[in-house]
A and B are shown apart, each in its own frame.
Chain A
Amino acid sequence: MSFELIKDILIATVPLLVIFPSLFAFTTWMERKALARIQNRIGPNKTGIPCTRIGLFGLGQPAADGIKMIFKEDIVPRGADKLFHLLAPILALIPAMLILCFLPLEFPWGKFMSAPVQAFLLDSAVIFFFAISGLATLAIFMAGWASRNKYSLLGGMRAVAQMVSYEIPLVLSAVVVVMMVGSLNAKEIADAQTGFNWFVFTPWGLAAFVIFFIAALAETNRSPFDLPEAESEIIAGYFTEYSGFKFALFFLGEYIAMFAISGLAVTLFLGAGDGPFLTAAPWLSVMWFIGKIFGLIAVMIWLRGTLPRLRVDQLMAFAWKFLLPLSIFNILLAGLTHFALDARVAATSDAILYSIHASHTHSDAANHDHPKPVAGQKEAVMGALHYTDKDWMGAMKWFSKAALKGHAQSRSILGWGFGIWAMSLIVLYVMAKGLDNVSRSTAKPREYLYAE
């Protein structure tokens, strides 16, 4: 063990331990502000610089909350298991902090390291991510059990059932990316997406991203999957008996887990640190990464402000009857499009970008020596028209025609790309729709009678 190694480890980990908790503070403020605005309130706007009347849009609120939390009385119920009651919030924070290490965040000060010791360079970084994030379940269960409160216990049981169930679609949707890249290494996954080859632009990537995001909401107990802490049913679930700093730790753990899982989504689907102007300023990469994380968190907040929560049986049905089959189907589809057909085209978004470009230039200047319209493109447009008219059979027919025609001609690659792109999405949508019809009860708006 040398000094060098310790220095490297510190450089790799300390920024994470500093940056993300600070971002947590900012996120609580952001969430309160955004929710307030969604609800047509103003939100925190008075707490700014202490001892002055400068409000600073309430940015001092997280600090005030933190100070309040620290000084609050720590209440431990009489019947509680005191050791576990203490350990649970700590245990909730540790895995959340640990998994941050597996995000391919390359800070500019990484160049001061003598050897790359970042955890995301591990060959099985993604697996580690899932393995360790699963430990949060235990902490929640511990909290629910140790409080010796029936609501806490119910919350703990719900949390375990929910997190175990949603881990499966979560992992399965990540498997697609792993399959495509052929590596579990986070860095390699990130590198595979440079130059806007984000996996979310592929049909299977899009589907996997949506599944991943929904499952991530459930994993982090965010609305509409916040059953373990469902206020209206079980008071506060596993937090019921927590107060003061222990509660703050839980809160912190939850938000850090949110960052981590959004970070993984960004890594897997949204191109990690990829973005414009990177050649000019490589350090922007981190900013893009964190910016994308905040984008996802904003969507989470937006959902929280809009949706009510599911019931426990619907939650399970959604995981097992909808997300799981869909993600398995998505793996199949990805495999088909990727390996059975031309891998280069189907895997990237080049095709569609190019076909749009080609059609554009063609209509612009037909007299010039420009490439012909992409084979099958017309058919694909027809298919899209049929699709908008909700003529599913017609759309299928036209899309398959587009695919076949494109294949038959010399510019087959582009035709295939476009056709497959659209067709895969439609197949996925139809699959999802069918699964939805099967898994969900036929709930739809009703008509009412009127008496004069």
Chain B
Amino acid sequence: MSELSHEFLLKEFPEAQWDEAAGAVILPAANARTIAEWLLASGWDYCSNVTGVDYLEAEVKEKTTNAEGETETVTRTEPGRIDVVYHLYSIANKTGPLVLKQRTGRDGATAESLTPVWRSCDLQEREVYDLFGVNFKGHPDQRRILMWDEFEGHPMRRDYSEPFDYEWEPTPHAEILEKHQRGKVII
């Protein structure tokens, strides 16, 4: 088992979980930053991709075997969540990827910013903030990146419905125009 596998990480930090289906390590919210720093130190020097995935509250039907040995279909409700996914590679060792996920609820979504560890997360975490509405704790410059500042809502969320007319959104132009009409701004 090489030092650059997820198993090593899981041994070092038992609180992290391994999601077999997705092939990803789910970072605990408490010490995501610590784990990231440890990962950087142990050779995962390059964070390639950062993105979010939005899961709505869904009813999942599962076939389980009950105590009597019969299969029955159980319907349970899985709460909605947002995953922030990080794809790590190692340039020094030319291996990868190691997929990390931070899980957060859909309301008031917050995650630990890994920008202080990998600068490459800077713009991408801003994008996740912009499009998914995840707040990154410790991000040095968290602003909207693709949508304009006054935009409301987060368009990549699966329940986002666009407003009837974008023109009704207040834009900086309107403000400047108004100021100009009051004679405050020249040009």
- Touch between chains A and B, by CB atoms below 8 Å: yes
Nearest A residue to B186 via CB reads A79
Chain B contacts for A148, CB-based, 8 A: 186-187
Interface positions of A from 52 to 98, Cβ below 8 Å from B:
77-79
| Proximity string of chain B (147-187) to chain A, C-beta cutoff 8 Å, 1 when within and 0 when not | 00000000000000000000000000000000000000011
Q: Is the interface of A mostly helix, strand, loop or mixed?
A: loop
Nearest A residue to B180 via CB reads A78
Tally of contact residues, A, Cβ under 8 A: 5
Chain A contacts for B186, CB-based, 8 A: 78-79, 148
Q: Is the interface of B mostly helix, strand, loop or mixed?
A: loop
Interface positions of B from 14 to 51, Cβ below 8 Å from A:
none
Nearest A residue to B187 via CB reads A79
State the Cβ distance, A450 to closest chain B Cβ, in Å: 17
Q: How far is the CA of A78 from the CA of B186 in the complex (A)?
A: 8
Q: How far is the CA of A328 from the CA of B187 in the complex (A)?
A: 47
Nearest B residue to A77 via CB reads B187
| Proximity string of chain A (365-406) to chain B, C-beta cutoff 8 Å, 1 when within and 0 when not | 000000000000000000000000000000000000000000
State the Cβ distance, B144 to closest chain A Cβ, in Å: 26
Chain B contacts for A78, CB-based, 8 A: 186-187
State the Cβ distance, A62 to closest chain B Cβ, in Å: 35
Chain B contacts for A149, CB-based, 8 A: 187
Q: How far is the CA of A78 from the CA of B187 in the complex (A)?
A: 7
State the Cβ distance, B149 to closest chain A Cβ, in Å: 23
Nearest B residue to A150 via CB reads B187
State the Cβ distance, A16 to closest chain B Cβ, in Å: 41
State the Cβ distance, A45 to closest chain B Cβ, in Å: 42
Chain A contacts for B187, CB-based, 8 A: 77-79, 148-149
Q: How far is the CA of A149 from the CA of B186 in the complex (A)?
A: 11
State the Cβ distance, B169 to closest chain A Cβ, in Å: 26
State the Cβ distance, A101 to closest chain B Cβ, in Å: 41
State the Cβ distance, A13 to closest chain B Cβ, in Å: 42
Q: How far is the CA of A192 from the CA of B186 in the complex (A)?
A: 58
| Proximity string of chain A (125-148) to chain B, C-beta cutoff 8 Å, 1 when within and 0 when not | 000000000000000000000001
| Proximity string of chain A (283-311) to chain B, C-beta cutoff 8 Å, 1 when within and 0 when not | 00000000000000000000000000000
Nearest B residue to A148 via CB reads B187
Q: How far is the CA of A77 from the CA of B186 in the complex (A)?
A: 11
State the Cβ distance, A266 to closest chain B Cβ, in Å: 45
Interface positions of A from 11 to 26, Cβ below 8 Å from B:
none
State the Cβ distance, B179 to closest chain A Cβ, in Å: 14
Chain B contacts for A77, CB-based, 8 A: 187
State the Cβ distance, B152 to closest chain A Cβ, in Å: 32
State the Cβ distance, B187 to closest chain A Cβ, in Å: 5
| Proximity string of chain A (94-115) to chain B, C-beta cutoff 8 Å, 1 when within and 0 when not | 0000000000000000000000
Chain B contacts for A79, CB-based, 8 A: 186-187
State the Cβ distance, B138 to closest chain A Cβ, in Å: 36
State the Cβ distance, A402 to closest chain B Cβ, in Å: 63
Q: How far is the CA of A253 from the CA of B187 in the complex (A)?
A: 28
Q: How far is the CA of A96 from the CA of B164 in the complex (A)?
A: 59
Nearest B residue to A149 via CB reads B187
Q: How far is the CA of A54 from the CA of B187 in the complex (A)?
A: 47
Interface positions of A from 140 to 192, Cβ below 8 Å from B:
148-149
State the Cβ distance, B145 to closest chain A Cβ, in Å: 25
Q: How far is the CA of A79 from the CA of B186 in the complex (A)?
A: 6
Q: How far is the CA of A148 from the CA of B187 in the complex (A)?
A: 8
Q: How far is the CA of A148 from the CA of B186 in the complex (A)?
A: 10
State the Cβ distance, A241 to closest chain B Cβ, in Å: 11
State the Cβ distance, B55 to closest chain A Cβ, in Å: 42
Nearest A residue to B185 via CB reads A79
Q: How far is the CA of A77 from the CA of B187 in the complex (A)?
A: 8
Q: How far is the CA of A205 from the CA of B14 in the complex (A)?
A: 83
| Proximity string of chain B (58-72) to chain A, C-beta cutoff 8 Å, 1 when within and 0 when not | 000000000000000
State the Cβ distance, A185 to closest chain B Cβ, in Å: 50
State the Cβ distance, B123 to closest chain A Cβ, in Å: 25
| Proximity string of chain B (71-83) to chain A, C-beta cutoff 8 Å, 1 when within and 0 when not | 0000000000000
State the Cβ distance, B186 to closest chain A Cβ, in Å: 5
Q: How far is the CA of A301 from the CA of B187 in the complex (A)?
A: 37
Q: How far is the CA of A149 from the CA of B187 in the complex (A)?
A: 8
State the Cβ distance, A107 to closest chain B Cβ, in Å: 49
State the Cβ distance, A176 to closest chain B Cβ, in Å: 48
Q: How far is the CA of A306 from the CA of B187 in the complex (A)?
A: 37
Q: How far is the CA of A436 from the CA of B186 in the complex (A)?
A: 46
Q: How far is the CA of A151 from the CA of B187 in the complex (A)?
A: 13
| Proximity string of chain A (315-334) to chain B, C-beta cutoff 8 Å, 1 when within and 0 when not | 00000000000000000000
State the Cβ distance, B182 to closest chain A Cβ, in Å: 15
Interface positions of A from 256 to 280, Cβ below 8 Å from B:
none
State the Cβ distance, A273 to closest chain B Cβ, in Å: 51
Query: Which residues of B approach A to under 8 Å, CB–CB?
Result: 186-187
- A selection of 7 A-B contacts at a CB cut-off of 8 Å is A77-B187, A78-B186, A79-B186, A79-B187, A148-B186, A148-B187, A149-B187
Given A78-B186, A148-B186, output 4 extra A-B contacts at Cβ < 8 Å: A77-B187, A79-B186, A79-B187, A148-B187
Query: Which residues of A approach B to under 8 Å, CB–CB?
Result: 77-79, 148-149
- Please list the 8 inter-chain residue pairs (A to B) with the smallest Cβ-Cβ separation, ordered nearest first: A79-B186, A79-B187, A148-B187, A78-B187, A78-B186, A77-B187, A148-B186, A149-B187
